């Protein structure tokens, strides 16, 4: 029986068109789950144990007989067979532990989401970051454009077991958050993602994960504040890749 990771199980179910929520923890006051009689997985035998089982017994008995004379059978001669040398197993490389992720999400009145990694681990941005975003919104959307909602994403959730190095599950959780019920009241027009880490997570195998609107990327807020040249480069890129035009023509929907 092949044991699949949580990410592989989710991917297989998505390919079959099945959406399934898997309970991880028991909520207070919730009814107890019915136990499933799952077969126990077969015990795996290591390569060394298979070699030993093939070469055992360690001694072979050889009997000598004489064809010329009718004499009793001589004493058996024991020919020792050397045991195989122990197989040296290379230690498996440890999985890299994925760092927790905290994200502030602003839903703008024109249906755009601003997705920003929060290095503080608590909801809310620094005053200088808020001022930077306000100036950027005024440049991208001439006139008044308010904020419809502010949400905070944190991964992993408290008490939820996560395999070390399982970045794919973090990516799926973030995508599910951005397309979840809290944002389904409005038709999302686009995403403006700040930072290379978030850009990698949201563009990681998108065909197997929740669908997102058009994604545009920008340097992290901390980088824009510390390196003014990045602001100039981003603004030029925003014109070349169509971000400025797409953002400005999105009507206010909230």
- Spell out the domain ranges in the chain: 101-248
Q: Strand 77-80 vs strand 215-218: parallel, antiparallel, or unpaired?
A: unpaired
Q: Give the alpha-carbon dihedral of 17, 112, 199, 98, to 10 degrees.
A: -70
Distance, CA of 80 to CA of 186 (rounded, Å): 80
Q: What pLDDT does 65 receive?
A: 45
Q: What pLDDT does 107 receive?
A: 94
Which CB contacts under 8 angstroms, 24+ apart, belong to 235-238?
235/139, 238/140
Per-10-residue mean pLDDT, the chain, length 254: 70 71 66 72 77 65 46 53 56 59 94 92 90 94 88 82 70 87 84 93 64 90 94 94 94 83
Under 8 Å between Cβ of 173 and 160? no
Nearest residue to 8 via CA among 228, 211, 205: 205
Tens of pLDDT, residues 20-65 = 565 666 667 777 777 767 677 777 777 778 777 777 655 444 444 4
- CB atoms under 10 Å from CB of 196, counted, come to 13
Asked whether the bond before 186 is cis by omega within 30 degrees of 0, the reply is no
């Amino acid at each position: 029986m092949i044991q699949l990771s949580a990410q592989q199980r989710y991917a297989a179910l998505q390919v079959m068109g099945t959406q399934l929520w898997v309970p991880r923890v028991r909520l207070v006051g919730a009814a107890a789950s019915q136990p499933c009689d799952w077969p126990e997985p077969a015990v795996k035998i290591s390569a060394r144990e298979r070699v030993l089982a093939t070469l055992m017994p360690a001694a072979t008995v050889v009997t000598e007989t004489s064809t010329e004379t009718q004499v009793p059978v001589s004493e058996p001669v024991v020919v020792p067979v050397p045991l195989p040398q122990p197989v040296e197993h290379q230690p498996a490389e440890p999985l890299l532990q994925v760092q927790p992720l905290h994200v502030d999400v602003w839903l703008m009145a024109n249906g755009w989401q601003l997705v920003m990694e929060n290095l503080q681990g608590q909801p809310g941005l620094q005053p200088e970051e808020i001022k930077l975003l306000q100036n950027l919104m005024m440049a991208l959307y001439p006139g008044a454009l308010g904020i419809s909602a502010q949400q905070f994403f944190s991964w992993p959730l408290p008490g939820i077991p996560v395999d070390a190095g399982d970045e794919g599950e973090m990516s799926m959780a973030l995508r599910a958050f951005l397309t979840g019920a809290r944002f389904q009241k409005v038709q999302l027009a686009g995403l403006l993602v700040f930072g290379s880490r978030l850009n990698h997570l949201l563009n990681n195998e998108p065909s197997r994960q929740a669908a997102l609107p058009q994604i545009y990327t920008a340097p992290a807020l901390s980088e824009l504040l510390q390196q003014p040249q990045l602001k100039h480069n981003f603004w030029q890129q925003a014109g070349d890749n169509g971000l400025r035009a797409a953002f400005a023509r999105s009507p206010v929907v909230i």
